[in-house]
Amino acid sequence: MTTVQTPRVDAPVEESALSKIAARMKRVVSSNPSVLPTLAAIVIFIVMVIYGEIAYGRIVQYNTLSNLLINNAHLIILAVAMTFVILTGGIDLSVGSIIALSSVAGVILANAGWDPWLVIGMMIVIGTVFGLTSGILIQYFNVQPFIATLAMMFLARGLAALLSTRPERLDEESPIRWLGEQFKLIDGEKVNDVVVTPGVIIALLVVLVAFFVLHRTRTGRTVYAIGGSESSSALMGLAVPRTKVLVYVISGTLSGVAAVVYTSRLGIAQNITGIGWELDAIAATVIGGTLLTGGYGYVLGSVVGALVLGLMNVLITRDGGIPPEMTTIITGGILLVFVLLQRAVISKRHT
């Protein structure tokens, strides 16, 4: 077992023969069992798409899939943020509240006539400050990650409530709304178009940069090493304290970015925005195959996890027979199954 593992995300798509794929998968899984949850997530996503197409129709088409991306751009960003933190073995519960504070503050400032660039900068910086505070508490004052970020969660939520407890509407003419505007890439028949928003592009950029940082830089390798064993990586001379603070700063900053993307799409901010999103982000990350104990995981897996959650919501809406109250139970159930799967994989690796 190696502490630092360079993950491989090689889903063999081009192979034509099914058996060949199976054999290849088997080899990948047996050489590195920790890819199993990620593969499972991909399989589940594909199964959900096929099931949805057969049962409800109109799933595998341009507009449904582009809407899936548009509506979940913020969740993808949050899942990426959470991946960094969970890889080090930590947790960040403050992401949802940071979004609430950052969007409420942003909308109020924008409506007060601030320069849009400045507003966007402020929204992101709010996230950074909260992330930095959690990071310092965790690294230098030995507060458990879970407690420190829980405190930040309530601090941000409370501050958002102090700013305003009513829904704040972004001005119709505000340039920030441009980020949520839809652009047709491919003009299909009727409304069946491939559509993107600048928000989606931001999310994809975040994913690409995160992928590069985690898998191709020294910082990324340190993140994995800390999750493997913090004391060993400190003994190896890696920059543990700096990196640990950094992952929370990244997480906070990306929460700020997610706030920008979400607010620009919806145009409304409220102090109760984002309740429970930290759970969605954790679920997306765990479904995507990142171990909660840290050290193993893939940022692309988290993206798949976020899409699985998004697609689940689409299917539940389409079905109509499932009461919306069941959504949280189903999310919880899926999360449980994946955590159990992780346990099975871990115990397999140790035998």
Positions touching other proteins (CB under 8 A) are 91, 137, 140-144, 146-148, 150-155, 157-159, 161-162, 165, 271, 276, 279, 282, 292-293, 323-333, 335-336, 339-340, 343
Whole-number Å distance between alpha carbons of 108 and 90:
33
Nearest CA among 247, 210, 209 for reference residue 225: 247
- The answer to whether the beta carbons of residues 52 and 315 sit under 8 Å apart is yes
CA distances from 297 to 7, 158, 205, 254, 287 (A): 8, 33, 19, 19, 10
Closest to other proteins by CB, 181 vs 319, is 319
Whole-number Å distance between alpha carbons of 297 and 282:
13
Closest to other proteins by CB, 148 vs 207, is 148
Whole-number Å distance between alpha carbons of 37 and 33:
8
Give min distance, CB of 161 to other proteins, in A: 4
Closest to other proteins by CB, 321 vs 324, is 324
Closest to other proteins by CB, 32 vs 164, is 164
- The answer to whether the beta carbons of residues 13 and 302 sit under 8 Å apart is no
CA distances from 203 to 299, 310, 323 (A): 13, 15, 30
Nearest CA among 300, 271, 266, 244 for reference residue 45: 300
Give min distance, CB of 122 to other proteins, in A: 19
Closest to other proteins by CB, 12 vs 158, is 158
Closest to other proteins by CB, 53 vs 230, is 230
Give min distance, CB of 132 to other proteins, in A: 14
Give min distance, CB of 117 to other proteins, in A: 29
Whole-number Å distance between alpha carbons of 349 and 174:
54
User: What ranges make up the beta strands (E) of 199-321?
Assistant: 268-269
- The answer to whether the beta carbons of residues 306 and 2 sit under 8 Å apart is no
Whole-number Å distance between alpha carbons of 177 and 173:
8
Q: List, in sequence order, every residue forming a beta bridge with 194; answer none if it has no partner.
A: 186
Closest to other proteins by CB, 23 vs 162, is 162
Give min distance, CB of 345 to other proteins, in A: 13
Give min distance, CB of 239 to other proteins, in A: 19
Give min distance, CB of 156 to other proteins, in A: 8
